Amino acid sequence: LNTLRVYWKASQPKPVLYLFPGRDPTKPLTSETVQRVMKRIIKKAGITKTATPHVLRHSFATHLLEDGYDVRKIQFLLGHKSLQSTCTYTHVARDFLQKTTSPLDTLDKEV
C-alpha cells in the first residue's frame, strides 16, 4: 500500500509556480526574455511605436481608470503596496477628463 502511495504522489502533476515559467519550470521567465520576445513580436507585426512590458502595464492601468475602475482595485491588480506607485501609472487622457462631469456641474440644474 505504501508503494502505491509513493507512486500516486510521484505521478501527480506538479503545481505550477509561475504564470510564465522559464525553461526551468521552478523559475519564472526573466525580464530580459520577456523583452526579447516582445521586441521580436513587435517587429514581426510591423508596429513602429515604442512598446515595452512597462508600456503595456501603464496602458493597462490607464484603460482601467478610464473605464471607471477604482484606483484601489488597480493598485491591487498591479501589486503595488503604495497608492502613490499606482498613481504614477494612471496617466489619464485629456479627452477622458474633459468628458467626465463633476457632481458640482449639475448643481444649478437641480435648483
From 28, 50, 25, select the one nearest 39 (Cα to Cα).
50
pLDDT band at 32 (very low <50, low <70, confident <90, very high): very high
Residue 39 domain-assigned?
A: yes
pLDDT digits 0-9 by tens, 36-90? 999 999 999 999 988 899 888 888 998 898 888 888 999 999 999 998 888 887 7
The residues near 43 (Cβ < 8 Å, ≥ 6 apart) are none
Asked if the structure places residue 2 within a domain, the reply is: no
Is 68 found in the same domain as 32? no
**Do 63 and 76 belong to one domain?**
yes
Whether 91 shows a pLDDT value over 70: the answer reads no
Report the mean per-residue pLDDT for the chain.
84
Q: Are residues 71 and 97 in the same domain?
A: yes
Same domain, 40 and 60: no
Phi-psi region of 15 (alpha: psi -120 to 50; beta: other; left: phi over 0): beta
Q: Are residues 56 and 44 in the same domain?
A: no
Q: What per-residue confidence (pLDDT) applies to 95? A: 64
Range of the domain at 85: 52-101
* 65 class by beta-carbon count within 10 Å (0-12 exposed, 13-18 middle, 19+ buried): buried
Residue 102 and residue 109 in contact, taking contact as beta carbons nearer than 8 Å: no
| Residue 82 resides in a domain | yes
